[in-house]
Amino acid sequence: MTISAFISGCASTGLSNSETNFFSKTNPWGLILFKRNVESPDQIKQLTAQFRAAVGRKDAPVFIDQEGGRVQRLGPPLWRQYPAAEAYGKLYDRCASLALRTARNVGRLMAEDLEEIGITSSCLPVLDVPQPGAHDVIGNRAYATRIENVMILARMHTIGLMEGGVLPVMKHIPGHGRSMVDSHKDLPIVKAKRLELETVDFPPFVAFADCPMAMTAHVIYEAIDSENPATLSRKVIRDVIRKLINFQGLLMTDDLSMKALGGTFAEKSKRALDAGCDMLLHCNGVLAEMEEVAAAAGPLTGKAMRRAKQALKARRKPLPYDKKAALKDLEAIMTS
């Protein structure tokens, strides 16, 4: 059966008959989970198995936002609490080598949590460089304010994740650190000049051009396209993401149900695909909206299909690691 070019959420801790039928009929490339979908490890194993059975693909990817800090869908008491990315940056200022080791070790621990329950990808690293006065929608989700620190800490965090068999999705390409509003609620408009964007905002993404997947920013960059946010902008995707940044991996939208994007779901979906996104992402689990996105998504073909296959090929079997040392590093950074 043809795979559809979208990733879908679901409503609860198990698939309803309607959702199972929907997934069987539309065959989305992947599933994304949120806190509403989380009850226990065994329940998530069952949910991911249900989804893969519905689409008939054992390797169908399952995603989650498991950054640490305030964006952590799996948390206590059943899973460990992890630090926000900013904690690595603060540790780096005190002891660079310890921060790099800790970022890698914590990434490895996070991967073990996910891989054990059938989740194949975590939507990290956050490569946005926060700017003074910007909205805290990014805030402590960013590793640092210095570009070089963002690059090296995110790299180590991601290495740990991939060594544990979990794929990263870098976000929010080409940069969300200047937004003055929360894109979940409104459309951010960035007025910075192009040279400033190329000097500060884009470099972390250039350094991660080898990442298998990336998630777009629902942000307008006036210096590049004054009318369309990156998700819906052919100029941003073609000239910045694909050419300047040279990212050739799978490009997915941020959540289409966020308020930053106007129009119907069919309209948003078509515009995103026309702009050059490979994959649509719809997260809230509302079936009527999911059906609209699915109808607009169409089949996963051509370059998008090749990029999707290549992304999944980047996943490896988990490597051995010193879990005791990793837990010690986690405890130290959480109590520092």
Give the model's pLDDT for residue 198: 98
Q: One of 65, 128, 254, 255 is an active-site residue; which one? A: 254
**pLDDT, tens only, 118-157:** 999 999 999 999 999 889 899 999 999 999 999 999 999 9
Give the model's pLDDT for residue 180: 86
Q: How many helices (H) and strands (E) does the chain have?
A: 12, 13
Give the model's pLDDT for residue 50: 98
Give the integer Cα–Cα distance in Å for 61 and 52.
9
Give the model's pLDDT for residue 301: 98
218 part of the active site: no
H or E stretch covering 310: helix 302-313
Give the model's pLDDT for residue 217: 97
Give the model's pLDDT for residue 298: 95
pTM: 0.97
Give the integer Cα–Cα distance in Å for 74 and 63.
12
Question: Within 208-299, where are the H helices?
Answer: 234-235, 265-275, 287-297
| Residue 310 amino acid letter | Q
Burial class, 195, CB count within 10 angstroms (exposed 0-12 / middle 13-18 / buried 19+): exposed
Phi, psi of 247 (to 5 degrees): -80, 120
Residue 6 forms beta bridges with which residues? 280
Within 10 angstroms of residue 194's Cβ, the number of other Cβ atoms is 14
Q: Spell out the domains of the chain, with CATH numbers in brackets.
A: 4-74+113-128+167-325 (3.20.20.300)
**pLDDT, tens only, 21-53:** 999 999 999 999 999 999 999 999 999 999 999
Q: HSE (CB half, 13 Å, CA atoms) of 156?
A: 21
| First-to-last C-alpha distance (Å) of the chain | 51
- Dmax over CA atoms of the chain, in Å, equals 54
Q: One of 184, 210, 274, 322 is an active-site residue; which one? A: 184
What value does the mean pLDDT of the chain take? Answer: 97
Phi, psi of 214 (to 5 degrees): -140, 155
The answer to whether the CB of 172 falls within 8 A of the CB of 219 is: yes
Whether 283 has a pLDDT exceeding 90, the answer reads yes
Residue 251 forms beta bridges with which residues? 214
Whether 1 has a pLDDT exceeding 80, the answer reads no
Give the integer Cα–Cα distance in Å for 329 and 97.
12
182 part of the active site: no
